């Protein structure tokens, strides 16, 4: 019997959603009956801590687990796809509209990036949950930038004529020559530069001797999904996101 399930409190989401939140992390299950027993224990502990809203992602092909967690009271909220490019070293830069692409050095640029993330991004864990008001989902992206700054993630700004049109935030493991793209995109109205942005993202990583790039994207975001495919990324896994309201909350969930 192997059961690997745990939780982590997510105060960064609590700030945005307006209630205490936690993420359930499920790594490996081969005994679903024992999983339910373990999950019930975790849920009781979370309720005792005042947690009101929880969420998890599981691999989409685990049909039995999908049924099990729905029987535990979770509802389906979103689908995400992990994509990977294992051939970054072979990337050849495309001829596209020119943009500047540099690590953020001006603290004022963070405010612009936060504004883009909160106002121009329409997909994600909470954006696609119809039970979460859009304002709270937008606030989550706004606050997420501050958290990523504190985590010392690499934050790049894409500019045209000195104005920020997009950004990329990534976490790089130089010892493994790999990068995870955490959050990237262009400002609403500047989508014409999306190809140029990803052109620079991949080329910059190639220049830093990165061999592999991973990203987790919303399956509903067809435009970005096609963009990744255009740049040679392949689908690695699909995940289903499930959410659950534990107790009555001040945030009015449907």
Q: What are phi and psi of 246, to 5 degrees?
A: -85, -45
- Neighbouring-strand partners of residue 169: 155, 183
pLDDT at 144 over 60: yes
pTM: 0.90
DSSP 185-243: EE-TT-GGGHHHHHHHHHHHHHHTT--EEEEEEETT-HHHHHHHHHTT-EEEEEEEEEE
CA–CA distances in Å: residue 81 to residues 74, 161, 236 = 20, 34, 8
**194-204 pLDDT tens trace:** 999 999 999 99
**59-89 pLDDT tens trace:** 999 888 899 999 999 999 999 999 999 999 9
4: enclosing H helix or E strand: strand 3-9
Average pLDDT of 236-253? 80
CA–CA distances in Å: residue 152 to residues 81, 106, 126, 176, 213 = 25, 15, 24, 18, 18
Write down the pLDDT at residue 99. Answer: 96
* 23 within 8 A of 42, measured Cβ to Cβ: no
Write down the pLDDT at residue 254. Answer: 45
Distance CA(14)–CA(105), nearest Å, equals: 29
pLDDT band at 31 (very low <50, low <70, confident <90, very high): confident
CA–CA distances in Å: residue 79 to residues 109, 126, 216 = 31, 11, 10
**162-207 pLDDT tens trace:** 999 999 999 999 999 999 999 999 999 999 999 999 999 999 999 9
pLDDT more than 90, % of the chain: 84
**114-138 pLDDT tens trace:** 999 999 999 999 999 999 999 999 9
Q: Which residue has the tokens 């493994």?
A: 176
CA atoms within 13 A of residue 108's CA, in its CB half-sphere: 3
Dihedral angle over CA of 109, 115, 117, 119, nearest 10: -160
Write down the pLDDT at residue 1. Answer: 44
Write down the pLDDT at residue 188. Answer: 92
């Amino acid at each position: 019997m192997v059961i690997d399930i745990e939780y982590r409190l997510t105060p960064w989401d609590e700030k945005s959603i307006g209630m205490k939140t936690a993420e359930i992390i499920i790594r490996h299950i081969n005994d679903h009956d024992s999983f339910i027993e373990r999950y019930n224990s975790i849920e009781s502990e979370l309720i005792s801590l005042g947690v009101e809203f929880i969420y998890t992602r599981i691999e989409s092909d685990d049909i039995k687990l999908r049924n099990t967690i729905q029987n535990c009271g979770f509802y389906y909220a979103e689908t995400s796809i992990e994509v990977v490019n294992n051939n970054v070293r072979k990337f050849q830069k495309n001829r596209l509209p020119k943009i500047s692409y540099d690590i953020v050095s001006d603290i004022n640029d963070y405010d612009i990036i936060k504004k883009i993330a909160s106002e121009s991004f329409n997909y994600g864990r909470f954006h696609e949950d119809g039970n979460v008001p859009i304002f709270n989902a937008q606030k989550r992206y706004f606050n997420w930038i501050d958290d990523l700054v504190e985590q010392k993630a690499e934050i790049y700004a894409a500019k045209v004529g000195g104005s920020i049109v997009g950004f990329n935030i990534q976490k790089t493991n130089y010892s493994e020559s790999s990068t995870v793209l955490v959050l990237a995109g262009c400002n609403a109205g500047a989508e014409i530069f999306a190809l140029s942005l990803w052109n620079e993202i991949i080329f910059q990583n190639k220049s830093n001797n990165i061999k592999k790039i991973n990203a987790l994207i919303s399956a509903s975001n067809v435009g970005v999904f096609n963009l990744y495919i255009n740049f040679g990324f392949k689908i690695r896994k699909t995940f289903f996101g499930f959410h659950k309201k534990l107790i009555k909350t001040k945030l009015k969930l449907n």
